[in-house]
Structure 1
Amino acid sequence: MTKSNVESFELDHRLVKAPYVRVAKRERLSDDVEIIKYDLRFCQPNEEHLEMPTMHSIEHMMANFMRDYTDKLIGFAPMGCQTGFYAITYNMEQDELLMALENGLNDILTATEVPAANERQCGWGASHSLEGAQEAARAYLAKKDEWLEVMA
């Protein structure tokens, strides 16, 4: 196989054990700014995935809710393989990310609606599942003690 310039393509997805939280990349922009990309894997690669309405709702809610706990979140984006998300942060070390992640997931559990799930604020406002997001958040939180165990 040819080496890729995409970090996640170099990860052997057969060897990981989801769910997990992993630092996928660090990039220093200056002496005082470092961009840190976290791989937040919800599902075991090539064995399971999140349905698109569930992913879409988690993306909306976590992009919104995590910002209640940190101002260091740049973006929260779904993986195309539908097995997890990327949290793009600046100067946000793992302990702070874990706190914001846990709090955001707990907020999903108590949510009564998906923020911005409408045609004005979203490109596919009808494609959401609050129930699916809550089920996925509950499952991810249930394995919180294993989040830092990336490899099987």
Structure 2
Amino acid sequence: MKGKCLCGAVEFDIAGQLPSLYQCYCSLCQQQTGGSHNTATLVDKANFSWLKGQASISTYQKDTGFSSHYCQGCGCSVPNALGSTGKYWIPAGLLEGPVTSKVVLHLHLASKAPWQAMPSQGHQFDSMPDLSAIINLLGS
């Protein structure tokens, strides 16, 4: 499955089946997206490849370690390696074509925006569970 940023400067490909999706409602994801949550998944590095535009990617990093990788042209969040986990973080909104994967996991619900309705399906966590639990629940 291919994906790209809004302006098309950054493109990537994911081999194999796309894992399930998660939504994170933490304050950082709210600020990063300008909305109530971020929807994403994690894929193995071996299944991820850049097609073009790596030179167009910039990074913003907070003192806390939180980082955001984005296209210099359009500002879209773009995939990035998730530390030393062997995974890439993939923002679901960049994926092209029909995405059949479902949201199965909701993170940081204790921080959700007051206008955001409580999700009715999937595993729900008030904070961040262990990364291995997330990887297991996503099937990635």
TM normalised by structure 2 equals 0.29
Instruction: Give the helix-richer structure, 1 or 2.
Output: 1
Q: Which has the larger radius of gyration?
A: 1
TM normalised by structure 1 equals 0.28
Instruction: Give the strand-richer structure, 1 or 2.
Output: 2
